[in-house]
């Protein structure tokens, strides 16, 4: 595939949406075709599954299966075709989020998640994952000011600390593609870290 796949990860309230849009504008100004998408979501089917995941009570296995079902349709319908034609795909969350939320957060078996990962998207991995990291308490304060909470955002601080630890573990396991961004700083300083990483890679 000739395109680039860049994912943004982090606990709810880390500021992913703001910086995804800023990066999309930068890349488009440079002449790139940019596909801006999210998970769960990005296709009609995946968006329907997203609503269930965010608002319907279920156990961790059901949650993981629905997330991966949405991902399968998203990859086949949107992500893979875009990468094949040379577009840059910016995605708000991908499989790292499943290991962080369902794995570390819910305590679900990481070996099962790894098997699902192989079945659903095989060798496809992001070229770059920007992990917007900040303390769970700071993220909770930001969320409270921004919007009504969904099923995940209603979880307690301990849950989000586990999720944050899950992201740290994923970062340690894949240092060649993961970059930790200090998202506790003001918006301009966060963007400066992202821009510096892109420049370092010649993007």
Residue partners of 184: CB distance under 8 A and separation at least 6: 133, 134, 135, 138
**Pairing label, strands 178-182, 88-92:** unpaired
* Architecture category of domain 4-200 in CATH: 3-Layer(aba) Sandwich (3.40)
Rounded to 10°, the helix 136-146/157-173 angle is 120
Q: What residue segments make up the domains of the chain, in order of their start?
A: 4-200
Q: What is the Cα–Cα distance from 203 to 145, expressed in whole angstroms?
A: 34
* Cα maximum dimension of the chain: 44
Which pair of tokens denotes residue 109?
């078996």
What percent of the chain is predicted at pLDDT more than 70?
A: 96
Give the mean model confidence (pLDDT) for residues 146-150: 65
Supply the DSSP symbol for 176: T
- For residue 146, the model assigns a pLDDT of 63
Would you tell me how many other CB atoms lie within 10 Å of the CB of residue 84?
A: 11
Q: Which of 37, 43, 40 has its CA nearest to residue 23?
A: 37
What are the pLDDT digits (tens) for 77-102?
A: 999 999 999 999 999 999 999 999 99
Q: Is the pLDDT of residue 126 over 90?
A: yes
147: confidence class by pLDDT, cuts 50, 70, 90 = low
Separation CA 147–CA 21 (nearest Å)? 19
CB distance 94 to 63 below 8 Å:
no
Per DSSP, helices labelled H in the chain are: 16-29, 44-55, 60-74, 80-84, 95-98, 110-121, 136-146, 157-173, 187-200
């Amino acid at each position: 595939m000739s395109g680039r796949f860049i994912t943004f990860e982090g606990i709810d309230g880390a500021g992913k949406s703001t910086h995804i849009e800023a990066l999309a504008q930068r890349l488009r100004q440079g002449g790139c075709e940019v596909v801006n998408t999210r998970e769960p979501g990005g296709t009609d089917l995946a968006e329907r599954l997203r609503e269930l995941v965010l608002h319907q009570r279920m156990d961790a296995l059901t949650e993981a299966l629905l997330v991966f079902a949405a991902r399968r349709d998203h990859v086949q319908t949107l992500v893979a075709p875009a990468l094949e034609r040379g577009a840059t795909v910016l995605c708000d969350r991908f499989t790292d989020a499943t290991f962080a939320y369902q794995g570390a957060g819910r305590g679900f078996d990481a070996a099962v998640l790894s098997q699902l990962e192989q079945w659903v998207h095989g060798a496809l991995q992001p070229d770059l994952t920007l992990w917007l990291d900040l303390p769970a308490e700071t993220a909770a304060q930001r969320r409270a000011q921004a919007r009504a909470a969904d099923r995940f955002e209603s979880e307690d601080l301990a849950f989000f600390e586990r999720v944050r630890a899950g992201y740290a573990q994923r970062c340690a396991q894949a240092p060649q593609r993961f970059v930790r961004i200090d998202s506790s700083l003001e918006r301009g300083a966060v963007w400066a870290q992202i821009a510096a990483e892109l420049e370092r890679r010649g993007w």
